[in-house]
Amino acid sequence: MRFKCILLTFLFFMIQSSRANICSPCNETTCPPILFGCGSYRAIDPCGCCEHCARGNMEPCGGKNWEIGYCNRDLQCMAITGKGLVQIPMIGICKEIQGPGKEYFQDADENCPVQNVCYKVTGICDCFKKRTCIMDFFQYSEAYCNPALDYPPPEGEDELPEKFCFHGGCDIIEEKCVCESKLCDYTRKFQFSDITECNKARVKQYCANVTCPEVKPIPCPSDSELTSPYTPQGDCCPKVPSFCTCDFQRCNKSCPNGRRKIIIRESEAVPGRCCDKFLCLL
C-alpha cells in the first residue's frame, strides 16, 4: 500500500512536470520583435513559434515557452543553481557545453524542431534535415541555395523588371519607422539608411522619458560570475536582471602529480559553494 502511494505521488509530479514543459499554441504566443538585428545567429524557440537572437554566454535563456530565448552554438541553457539543464518554464543561463557530447548536441537537440537546412561549401549546396534551433544554415531549400540548377522560378519572378533602382531609407513618423525602397529618385533624403538604425533611434527617443528601477551592484563570490541582464529589443528596462551563477571553469579540479585528492565537501552548485573543497595529500 505504501509503495502504491509513493508511485501515485511520483506519477503526479511527473505529470505536472510534463505539463509545465508543454508549449502553448503558436497562435497564443506573442513573439518578441527583432528590431536591431542580431550580433550572431538567429534561433527559433524549441516550441517552433518565434525567432529571436540566440543568447550568448552568461545571458539568460528559457522561461515560459522559451520566451527568454535559446542559447547560441557551443552553449546550453543550464539551471541557475545546480549542474543540470534548465527545466522549462524556469529561467536558466547560457553556459559553455562541456564534455564529449558537444558536437552531437549541436546537431541533434531533442528540444528543437526538425528543419530542412542547406549549407553551401565551396559553392556546392549540401541539403538535409536536422533537429536544430540555431539558424546557421544558408537556406531552407536547394532551389534557393543553388539557383543554377534547373528549378522553376518562384511564382511572379519569371520576368525581370526593365530597370533596377536601389535607393531607400526610413523616417520616424508619429513614433513609427516608415521605410521606402527601390526608389529611382536619388535626391530623396531619409533620416536613416535602414530599418535597424531607425528602430534604434526610435527606441532611444522613447526610452529617454522612461525611468527604470535602480539596480544596486551585485558582488559575486570568486567561484561565480555576474550574468548579463536581458532587455527585449524595444523595451527600456531589463526583463531579467543580473544575478550570480556558478562558473565551474574557475574551480580547481586536480592535485599536483604525486598527491591524492581527498574530497572534504562536494560542490553544492550555488555561488560561494560552486567548487569541490578538497585536500591534496601525499
Beta bridge partners of 75: 96
Rounded CA gap, 118 and 149, in Å?
14
Question: Residue 139 — very low, low, confident or very high, per pLDDT cuts 50/70/90?
Answer: low
Q: What is the mean pLDDT of residues 80-90?
A: 89
Tell me which of 13-22, 64-73, 194-203 is least confident.
Answer: 13-22
Whether 215 is covered by a domain: the verdict is no
With a cut of 90, say whether residue 142 has pLDDT above it. no
Whether 188 is covered by a domain: the verdict is yes
Rounded CA gap, 166 and 185, in Å?
9
In total, how many domains does the chain have?
1
Rounded CA gap, 177 and 170, in Å?
6
Rounded CA gap, 14 and 18, in Å?
6
Residue 140: per-residue pLDDT: 62
Closest CA to 67 of 245, 246, 242, 240: 240
| Domain around 188 | 167-207
With a cut of 70, say whether residue 106 has pLDDT above it. no
With a cut of 50, say whether residue 185 has pLDDT above it. yes
With a cut of 50, say whether residue 138 has pLDDT above it. yes
Tell me which of 52-61, 77-86, 167-176 is least confident.
Answer: 77-86
- Single-letter amino acid code for the residue at 220: C
The larger pLDDT score, comparing residue 160 to residue 15, is at 160
Whether 234 is covered by a domain: the verdict is no
Tell me which of 12-21, 138-147, 254-263 is least confident.
Answer: 12-21
Q: Residue written as cell 541539403?
A: 127
Whether 19 is covered by a domain: the verdict is no
DSSP string computed for the chain: -HHHHHHHHHHHHHHHHHHHHPPPPGGG--PPP--S--SS-EEE-TTSS-EEEPB-TT-EEE-GGGTTB-B-TTEEEEESSSSSB--TTSEEEEEE--STTHHHHHHB-TTSPEEEEEEEETTEEEEEEEE-SEE-SSBSSHHHH-TTSS-PPPTT-SS--S----EEEEEEETTEEEEEEEES-TT---SBSSHHHHHHHHHHHHHTT--PPP----PPPTTEEEPPPB--TT-SS-SB---EEE-GGGS-----TT-EEEEEE---SSTTS-S-EEEEE-
The larger pLDDT score, comparing residue 254 to residue 99, is at 254
Whether 178 is covered by a domain: the verdict is yes
Residue 152: per-residue pLDDT: 56
For 126, the enclosing helix (H) or strand (E) is strand 124-131
The larger pLDDT score, comparing residue 230 to residue 16, is at 230
Residue burial 164-181, b: 16+ Cβ < 10 Å; e: rest: eeeeebbeeeeeebeeee
Whether 250 is covered by a domain: the verdict is no
Instruction: Tell me the C-alpha to C-alpha distance, in Å, between residue 182 and each of 51, 162, 170.
Output: 27, 13, 12
Tell me which of 24-38, 91-105, 245-259 is least confident.
Answer: 91-105
Q: What is the pLDDT of residues 3-62, one digit of tens each?
A: 344 333 333 333 333 333 578 999 988 888 899 999 889 999 999 899 999 999 999 999
Whether 82 is covered by a domain: the verdict is no
Q: What is the mean pLDDT of residues 147-166?
A: 61
Q: Can you give the C-alpha Rg of the chain in angstroms?
A: 25
- Single-letter amino acid code for the residue at 184: C
With a cut of 50, say whether residue 251 has pLDDT above it. yes
Q: What is the mean pLDDT of residues 273-281?
A: 94
The larger pLDDT score, comparing residue 253 to residue 219, is at 219
Whether 191 is covered by a domain: the verdict is yes
Tell me the average pLDDT of the chain: 83
The larger pLDDT score, comparing residue 22 to residue 196, is at 196
